[in-house]
Amino acid sequence: MTLTDQPARSKTESCGPLPRGFRYAGVACGIKKSGMPDVSLVVADRPVMGAGVYTQNQIVAAPVVLCRSRTPSTEIRAVVANSGNANACTGESGMRDAEEMCRRVASKLECEPDQVLVMSTGVIGRPLPMDRVRKGIDDAHERLVDGPQAFLESADAIRTTDQDRKTAFRTVDCGGEKYSIAAMAKGAGMIAPNMATMLAVILSDAPICESVAQSVLSAAARKSFNRVSVDGHTSTNDTLLLLASGSGESIAGDDLVRFQRGIDEACIELAKMMVADGEGATHVMAIRVSGAKDENEAEEIAKTVAASLLVKTAVTGGDPNWGRIVSAAGYAKATIKPQQVCLRICGTTIYENGTPLPFDEAALSQEMKRAEEVSIDLRVGDGVGQADYWSSDLTTDYVRFNSEYTT
């Protein structure tokens, strides 16, 4: 087994209510040497709304190019994904392979190829073994069903270095009508602001129009996947998709606010799972910055603290080192008011109004070591700006894992 073929260690063994109008399958076709599932298929029973948010890296994989050109759309029928091979930096042959994956699914569903979206994840620079992929798509189509087990199998088939399955579920009440949200994702390393080495598919049976779908997804991405960091490395394949099968008039007003909240919550839950599953990670740093000039400056400060290797290693060792955190805020490209800076770690105030306070360092250190999620609350002034950010700590396991990734 290679480091790209981690066995499942699922923390999510059950499904919430699944949206109406979708079927799922996850199969193994032999892309991964371990024989673990590596082809995922999500199919809508009829054309549905589809929107996407993608990597901001200038080097992008062939599947990202295709998906960008096909979303948003009201005619999406399927999402096909493979893991174990990113189909990135593979030139014209890679684009042909991505297009063939779509054509093969389309032929099974009797729809047009541009109604199919495609995602890939894994090692870059290697051609897809298309003979295996073709068989995987055929097998997945034969196994399509609409039950919870199939959904979970589909979610497992997009994993690479993930130790845990990543799924999230919500139910939204809109004017007495209940709509379901079901989401799956993968991601554990190459996690950075502006998405990550991640694939995610969010499904709902709510009725939403094209502009609403794209707006909702973009807003959710900013609050979740764009505010996580493991190693500061933005990937070539990041893809976040939203498919909605509802028909009729698009939800609006208070109903849309509730729907947005449900999508936001599902995305944040998945994003935090990615950080917790960060390669070698032992703690999640939950960073909240308040008192900044505006939300953008709060986010910039939080991102800077989250990316600091000294802050990461302090959390690894349970070291309540306020100096590292405060100084990181000070070099962020944002305005702070040093005499108003306050810091709490795990609920204990250790720095207030620009001055360190006495505290029980040994007790706080033990609390940090015990906590799976270490909260870092930093107030930098008296402004209205606030932002939440999530990052992993840094361990020697991360170095070992990534030094051996392709060998």
Residue 282's pLDDT is: 86
In angstroms, the CA 242 to CA 267 distance is 11
Nearest one of 157, 111, 100, 160 to 134, comparing CA atoms: 100
What is the pLDDT tens value at each position of the chain, 407 positions in all? Answer: 333 444 444 444 578 899 999 999 999 999 999 999 999 999 999 999 999 999 888 888 999 999 999 999 999 999 999 999 999 999 999 999 999 999 999 999 999 999 999 999 988 899 999 999 999 999 999 999 999 999 999 999 999 878 889 999 999 999 889 999 999 999 865 444 444 468 999 999 999 999 999 999 999 999 999 888 755 556 688 899 999 999 999 999 999 999 999 999 999 999 988 888 766 678 999 999 999 999 999 999 999 999 899 999 999 999 999 999 999 999 999 999 999 999 999 999 999 999 999 999 999 999 999 999 999 999 999 999 999 999 888 877 666 666 665 55
In angstroms, the CA 318 to CA 177 distance is 47
Bridge pairing between strands 166-174 and 199-204: unpaired
Residue 145's pLDDT is: 97
Contact (CB, 8 A) for 371 and 337: no
How far from 117 is each of 82, 212, 291, 301, CA to CA, in Å? 12, 19, 42, 36
Output DSSP code: residue 277: T
Query: In 310-401, which ranges are E strands?
Result: 342-345, 348-352, 355-356, 373-379, 385-392
Alpha helices by DSSP H, 180-283: 210-223, 253-276
Q: Is 270 left (phi over 0), alpha (psi -120 to 50) or beta?
A: alpha
In the sheet that 284-292 helps form, which strands lie side by side, from edge to edge? 228-229, 385-392, 284-292, 373-379, 342-345, 348-352, 355-356
Contact (CB, 8 A) for 23 and 43: yes
Residue 236 in 3-state DSSP?
coil
Bridge pairing between strands 348-352 and 355-356: antiparallel
Catalytic positions are 197
Structural domains of the chain in order of their starting residue, each with its CATH number: 22-276 (3.60.70.12), 284-403 (3.10.20.340)
In angstroms, the CA 30 to CA 377 distance is 46
Contact (CB, 8 A) for 298 and 292: yes
In angstroms, the CA 46 to CA 33 distance is 35
pTM: 0.83
Burial of 278 (0-12, 13-18, 19+ CB in 10 A): buried
Contact (CB, 8 A) for 169 and 161: no
Residue 189's pLDDT is: 53
Tell the residue number behind the tokens 């063939």, with chain if given. Answer: 100
Number of H helices, E strands in the chain: 11, 15
In angstroms, the CA 138 to CA 114 distance is 19
In angstroms, the CA 387 to CA 381 distance is 13
Torsion sign across C-alpha atoms 146, 149, 150, 154: positive
In angstroms, the CA 2 to CA 33 distance is 8
In angstroms, the CA 227 to CA 247 distance is 32
